[in-house]
A and B are shown apart, each in its own frame.
Chain A
């Protein structure tokens, strides 16, 4: 009985962590290429509404995820066009993207408020996914496992693959990469598109799995947490994984203690926990020494060839 409760809580943590992990992985790749895209929240909302609308109209939930990723990528291309081809300020453009995405998702999502959607079933077959204990490992939908595969893939891509090396080089020294002959702008376009697609996918996970429904501002600032998580993880995919689950745990703790009615702790304090955790962990990392905390050297700077 109590074991069952613990397993349930564990699974809630995983579900809460998954979209944050996916969005943050995308942003990590974008930042490694030297671009700061503050529009994660906006892209997530667009992904959420696009995914939900496609899933409800076609009835295909997996099609909804694809649509969510596509919507995120499409919106990110607007950002890329502005900051890469027109050298607009990345911070301002990113903020505008979030505001724009919030508005667009509200507008296009209006007809879908109140509708429901079929969740994706567990990836693994019946005896495993229902087992009272093993469901903690095998009881999730495909997106959860995809997020783990993506973590491994991004870590490997950045650390060991040649395109990943080029991407890091572009983020560390755009002028030098250009001088060697790497296409800085094209690399960054690709990174932004990847980041946008993952943000859209993460958003779709909220509307198609976590809630699952559409409501205005459904993601409730999780895009910002994903952004913070990238810094928090010092631009390392494995730390990102740990960080996302930590945040998932703190958010679940907040919900669970509200539900359990811990009367003497005000709910506002519980809502504060994820942010408090950020401050605590950042402090701990800082105390442990400055090793490996360097942001990509060109983060947020516009690049002009021959300039």
Chain B
């Protein structure tokens, strides 16, 4: 039998898939997929966006049904007809998308996912117990729409742990955590593994898989193309198995640092939108031509507010607080700022960076018309818009049926490539990108990174706001850490350690005091 890398003992695998296949109209999502997960094993599923991992997980969790093949649970053949049936077996899943209710509170979101209702008091006590046992700070009375992406993910994890599952499926669980939080999560997962809980782990962060997982199954184009023991592989070798070719790491071409000042933010203070928005407190930084400037921090510390203030969705109290070269632009709206040369890629792809129900061509029209001749006399130039969208699709390798595809039909990673490409091809003087590669696979992430570095090499000033430290360390020459609406001193990336940045993220300025979990609580 394949795939049981380190199964302790002779017991039947907790979960085994045999020759599972699934088709959608026009797509073969999974084809002849077989692997097994032993009790207590942490098993990684590796693959690029669209390799069929998500579909496979949905089949295991009962959201979708396989067309062929068999699923064995602890040696018995089972038919998982619904998520409820999956949970009854002891399968829990931490979703990446689509399972939280924005208008409900954290408590309600957890309660609605419970199969065995219990009284409110008891449930609250149980939630608090899980929160403290696994070190997940959350205020359960808040409504989800007021929370950051990172906090939302914690709800998913808590919701899952409440069920005391025997198989835990985790889809990209660490993408928005600080290194310390990741370490804490891994401690939890290892503890669960030691208690005999199996874990199916999906992540694009290969060094995490190397640190955590006992075995890995690699998918490409819906098929199993290999298995490996991540502990003896390198991140690079696994990435190459995933994409079936050689991985090109992003490299800086020439150093254009020390160029003229392009974006100057000085004493930018913006009150937070009630009731839970973060107030920006005298934010100041300067970005030079040819430089990539990184802003690190745990989700919900004012990054969204800063992105909005830079984009012009919220105007600054005084125009001089944000200057583009020498021009004050603080009072201008997003369109005028784009025309002046400042383009922004916000964090949420659907609904903020793109209109889900619009085609890709229409979505390019929305932002690119300020810098590209896509309109004439108030009319849209459809052919030019389509050509521009096609250009973005081709140059950024967006996997789609064409410029007429609806934005919501694209996978997260592909839509991200499209949006980043749309802004980059407008040749901005300053580009602000929030979470450029969240949920994007290794191959696409490295392509986006390379494009950002190339844009900087051509003289643009780039601000990258990200929770992924590795990304910032690979791209930025200087970085700051954002905590509770304030920026730390700018650090030179060359001489900084991940540990120091992690401490700043937790709200410890100066780096001499130890991090208390409670301080992290305040930071989120």
Contact = CB atoms under 8 A, between A and B. Distances in A.
Contacts of A160: 120
Interface in A146-202: 160, 162, 165-166, 168-169, 172-173, 175-182
Given A169-B112, A297-B103, A181 B82 contact: yes
B379 interface: no
Nearest to A306: B64
Interface in A197-219: none
Contacts of A296: 103
Given A162-B111, A162-B117, A179-B63, A173 B83 contact: no
A168 B99 CA distance: 14
Contacts of A180: 83, 99, 112-113
Contact of A172 (B83, B84, B104, B111): B104
A294 interface: yes
B195 to A, nearest CB: 25
Contact of A166 (B83, B98, B112): B112
A169 B104 contact: yes
B100 interface: yes
Nearest to B275: A291
Contacts of B100: 173, 176
B101 A173 contact: yes
Interface residues of A, number: 20
Nearest to A178: B63
B102 interface: yes
Main secondary structure of the interface of A (DSSP, over half): helix
B84 to A, nearest CB: 4
A165 B63 contact: no
B440 to A, nearest CB: 22
A294 B146 CA distance: 13
A228 B53 CA distance: 46
A178 B101 CA distance: 12
Contacts of B108: 165, 168-169
Contacts of B103: 168, 172, 294, 296-297
Determine which residue in A165, A175, A296 has the highest number of CB atoms from chain B within 10 A of its CB, and name it. Answer: A165
Contacts of A297: 101-103
Contacts of B220: none
Contacts of B98: 173, 175-176, 179
A168 B144 CA distance: 14
Contacts of A168: 101, 103-104, 108
B422 interface: no
Interface in B101-134: 101-104, 108, 111-113, 115, 117, 120
Contacts of B112: 165-166, 169, 177, 180, 182
A176 B99 CA distance: 4
Nearest to B159: A180
B87 interface: yes
B293 interface: no
A85 to B, nearest CB: 19
A101 B111 CA distance: 40
Contacts of B82: 181
A297 B100 CA distance: 12
Given A165-B111, A168-B104, A169-B104, A181 B87 contact: yes
A290 B13 CA distance: 53
B95 interface: yes
A179 B99 contact: yes
Contacts of B84: 181
Interface string B442-469: 0000000000000000000000000000
A162 B112 CA distance: 7
Contact of B102 (A165, A173, A179): A173
Interface in B154-173: none
A181 B114 CA distance: 10
A179 B83 contact: yes
A172 B112 CA distance: 12
Interface in B334-379: none
Contacts of B63: 178-179, 306
Most buried by B among A160, A162, A180, A182: A180
A178 B82 CA distance: 9
B102 A172 contact: yes
B143 to A, nearest CB: 10
Contacts of A175: 98
A181 B163 CA distance: 14
A181 B99 CA distance: 10
B499 to A, nearest CB: 37
Interface string B76-89: 00000011100100
B291 to A, nearest CB: 39
Contacts of A162: 111, 117
A179 B112 CA distance: 12
A5 to B, nearest CB: 46
A182 to B, nearest CB: 8
Contacts of A294: 103
Nearest to B100: A176
B330 to A, nearest CB: 25
B170 to A, nearest CB: 15
A55 B76 CA distance: 61
Contacts of A181: 62, 82-84, 87, 115
12 contacts: A162-B117, A168-B104, A172-B102, A172-B103, A176-B98, A176-B101, A177-B101, A177-B112, A181-B82, A181-B84, A181-B115, A306-B63
Given A169-B108, A294-B103, 6 more contacts: A166-B112, A168-B104, A173-B100, A175-B98, A179-B98, A182-B112
Interface of B: 62-64, 82-84, 87, 95, 98-104, 108, 111-113, 115, 117, 120
Closest 7 CB pairs between A and B? A181-B83, A181-B84, A172-B101, A176-B99, A169-B112, A173-B101, A162-B117
